[in-house]
A and B are shown apart, each in its own frame.
Chain A
Amino acid sequence: MIELENVAYSYGGGDLLNDISLRLQPGSFHFLTGPSGAGKSTFLKLCYMELIASTGSVQVFGQDARAMERDQIALARRRIGVVHQDCQFLNHLSVAENIALPLTVAGRDVNSEMQNLTDLITWVGLKNQQNSLPPQLSGGERQRAALARAVIMGPDVILADEPTGNVDWEMSQRLLSLLIELNRMGKAVLVATHDLNLIRTAKNQISARVLRIKDRRLQLAGADL
């Protein structure tokens, strides 16, 4: 689905990532760890083509990211659900409209998918906040709304950047359960996190690979995880 081969990304004359290779296949579950500033977010941005690799190859659904037209990138992104670290909502739309945004931009009739939307909103516990505006939500509520938006299209790949950064333990378990459930449906999941407890909990339930970015390179994490 997404395949990186010998990828490097440079910015401002310095390498942020170097010699990165990874293949996200259907049903795979990866955690990505590393200290702040190690390049986890950059790595995810390369996967959903917000950034283009300086060297190496990024293949997304069989297409070379560097050669893709802008419309092809847009269509590919509809198959990738992304939970951004800073969530990123349209503040003039309600929470429900933000969650339904991927459906809207894909030209799908939101009214005909209202039941799925309502179920999803209920599942992430935002039924009472669905008509609120994003600035009225707490950090945890924003994370849950972002996750709901990421999965509403039933994507093939889910990329999550610190999805449990602002939620309590109980909610982080619920979010993890949803990611695991989606993974069991055959979706590829990649979660960038520094929450080691989350990783340990997940490893008790599924077979997940844990990767670490160290010295700008990607490594398999050690036995401590």
Chain B
Amino acid sequence: MSTLDRIKSVFQTSSTLLGGDVQADRVVPPSGFTSTLTLFTSAAMAFLAVFALALSLATGRLADRWASELAQSSTVRISAPAEELDLQTRAAQEVLRTTPGVARSRILSDEEQRLLLEPWFGPDLPVEDLPIPRLIEVVEDADGIDAEGLRQRLAAEAPGAFLDDHTRWRKPLVEAAARLRLLGWVALALIAASTAAMITLAARAALAATSQEIRVTRLVGATDVYIARAFVRRFTLRSLIGATAGMVVGTLAILLLPSASEEGGFLTGLGFQGWHWLWPLVIPPLSALVAFIATRQAALRMLKEVT
């Protein structure tokens, strides 16, 4: 079968499924409470899926930002007796100036150092009277620096200089963000599995409640696929409708969250950005697909018990 034929076949199957067969659909009696159960389950799961998706994408962004921003900067800290501090600072700057991968470097002013220490010591700290290390901010270019090589050169030229390339605390932060992102995907997988389980139960309940009608239909010549299709179509459409409603409500809830701000930190950034707002649109078709597979499996398995 050519690719074109396959596409045609998939399209025909989908259109048959969604378009329905009024006569065939009427053969299966209304399935009562399972209809409400399927709609509610799909809506609730889609609502949760929107949040899991938002969490996953937000932590992904956070991990990427931390990784890229922190990876391109480092700090040289110079601790030396007061009379040697300027000398070692100049030597360290010279080393940095001639180090490949360093885009620029600058000494933090007393005011900037005071601001850095302000959260701990208050605004009136006399920085100039304290033996506080001198700090040099280093910004790397795209190629980055050879941290170990730079450390060795600094040790030779300015023994009081220490390079902090942020690896020590950047790594756990990025790992934590990556774990959160993974948890988001795991939550999505669990939501899909729960949806499948609930719809399977609903489908089995509907099949059990209509076992007599199924038996009669079999006896007049219906194939298993014919009977299963009526159930599959019904549950797939219900799941699609329920998930669409849940997705719309979930997306609105995300939209109404406070917008991202420095003060709010990570939580206010828990939303979608740019084209990521299109991601929730994937949830209803996926929910319908899960319902399709779950109902088909349940129906065909149960029908084998009918002679």
Q: Residues on A close to B: CB < 8 A? A: 48-51, 70-71, 74-75, 77-78, 82, 84, 88-93, 97, 101-102, 104-107, 110, 149, 153
Bound Cα distance A105, B28 (Å): 11
B258 interface residue, CB < 8 Å from A? no
**Is the C-beta of B118 less than 8 angstroms from some C-beta in chain A?**
no
Quick one: which of A70, A97, A105 contacts B220, CB cutoff 8 A?
Answer: A105
Which of B27, B29, B213 meets A104, CB within 8 Å?
B27
Q: Are B23 and A110 in contact (CB under 8 A)?
A: yes
- Closest-by-CB residue of B relative to A74 is B223
Contact A77 B219 (CB under 8 A): yes
Residue of A nearest to B303 (CB): A70
Interchain CB contact under 8 A, A82 and B219: yes
Query: B220 near A102 (CB under 8 angstroms)?
Result: yes
* 13 pairs of residues in contact across A and B, judged by CB atoms under 8 Å: A49-B307, A70-B224, A71-B223, A74-B223, A75-B223, A77-B219, A78-B220, A88-B212, A91-B29, A101-B217, A102-B221, A104-B23, A105-B226
How near does chain A come to B202, taking the closest CB pair, in angstroms?
19
Please state if A74 and B30 are interface contacts (CB–CB under 8 Å): no
Cβ proximity bits B235-256 to A, threshold 8 Å, 1 near / 0 not: 0000000000000000000000
Interface of chain A, main secondary structure: loop
Query: Beta-carbon contacts of B14-31 to A below 8 Å, as 1s and 0s?
Result: 000000000110110110
In the assembled complex, the Cα of A27 lies from the Cα of B220 at a distance in Å of: 22
Contact of B219 among A50, A75, A97, A104 (CB under 8 A): A50
Contact A77 B307 (CB under 8 A): no
CB distance from A158 to the nearest CB of B (A): 13
Query: Could you tell me the distance between the alpha carbons of A107 and B220 in the complex, rounded to whole angstroms?
Result: 12
Q: B119 to nearest A CB, angstroms?
A: 73
Q: How far is the CA of A102 from the CA of B221 in the complex (A)?
A: 7
Q: Check if B221 sits within 8 Å of A75, measured CB to CB.
A: yes
Beta-carbon contact of A105 and B224 below 8 Å: no
A74: B residues at CB distance < 8 A? 218, 221-224
Name the residue on B nearest A94 (C-beta): B26
Closest to B225 in A: A71
The 10 closest A-B pairs by CB, nearest first: A78-B221, A105-B222, A77-B221, A92-B29, A74-B223, A102-B220, A88-B216, A104-B23, A71-B223, A50-B307
Say yes or no: A77 contacts B220, CB within 8 Å: yes
B304: Cβ under 8 A from any A Cβ: yes
Contacts of B26 in A (CB 8 A): 93, 97
Closest to B224 in A: A70
B307 touching A105, Cβ below 8 Å: no
A48 neighbours in B (Cβ, 8 Å): 219
Please pick, from B216, B226, B307, the residue contacting A90 in the complex, using a CB distance under 8 A: B216
Task: Tell me the B residues contacting A by CB distance below 8 Å.
Answer: 23-24, 26-27, 29-30, 212-213, 215-226, 303-304, 307
State in angstroms the CA–CA spacing of A159 and B195 once bound together: 45
Beyond A88-B215, A97-B26, A106-B221, 17 extra complex contacts between A and B, CB < 8 Å = A70-B223, A70-B304, A71-B225, A74-B221, A77-B219, A78-B220, A90-B27, A90-B29, A90-B213, A90-B216, A92-B30, A93-B27, A101-B27, A104-B27, A105-B24, A107-B226, A149-B220
List the A side residues contacting B220 at CB < 8 Å.
Answer: 77-78, 82, 101-102, 105, 149
Q: Which residue of B lies closest to A152 (CB)?
A: B220
How far does the alpha carbon of A49 sit from the alpha carbon of B306 in the complex, in Å? Answer: 12
Query: Taking the nearest CB of chain B, how far is it from the CB of A89, in angstroms?
Result: 7
Residue picked from B24, B217, B225, most chain A C-beta under 10 Å? B217
Closest chain B residue, CB of each to CB of A153: B221
Contacts of B224 in A (CB 8 A): 70-71, 74
The answer, among A49, A70, A105, for a CB contact under 8 Å with B27, is A105
A82 to B223, CA, bound (A): 17
Q: Is the CB of B217 within 8 A of A51?
A: no
Residues of B within 8 A of A89 (CB): 216
Taking CB atoms, residues of chain B closer than 8 Å to A82 are: 219-220
Determine the residue in chain B with the shortest Cβ distance to A78. B221
Expressed in whole angstroms, the minimum distance between the Cβ of A221 and any Cβ of chain B is 28
Chain B hits for A92, CB < 8 A: 29-30, 213
- Please give, as numbers and ranges, the residues of chain A lying within 8 Å of B225 by CB-CB distance: 71
Q: By CB atoms of chain A within 10 A, which of B30, B217, B218, B219 has the most?
A: B219
Closest chain-B Cβ to A7's Cβ sits at a distance in Å of: 17
With a cutoff of 8 Å between Cβ atoms, the chain A residues found around residue B30 in the complex are: 92
| Alpha-carbon separation in the docked complex, A160 to B26 (Å) | 27
Task: Name the CB-closest residue of A to B29.
Answer: A92
Please measure, in the bound complex, the distance between the C-alpha atom of A96 and the C-alpha atom of B102, giving whole angstroms. 87
Residue of B nearest to A71 (CB): B223
Contact residues in A for B23 (Cβ distance below 8 Å): 104, 110
**Assembled-state Cα–Cα distance A51/B222 (Å):** 17
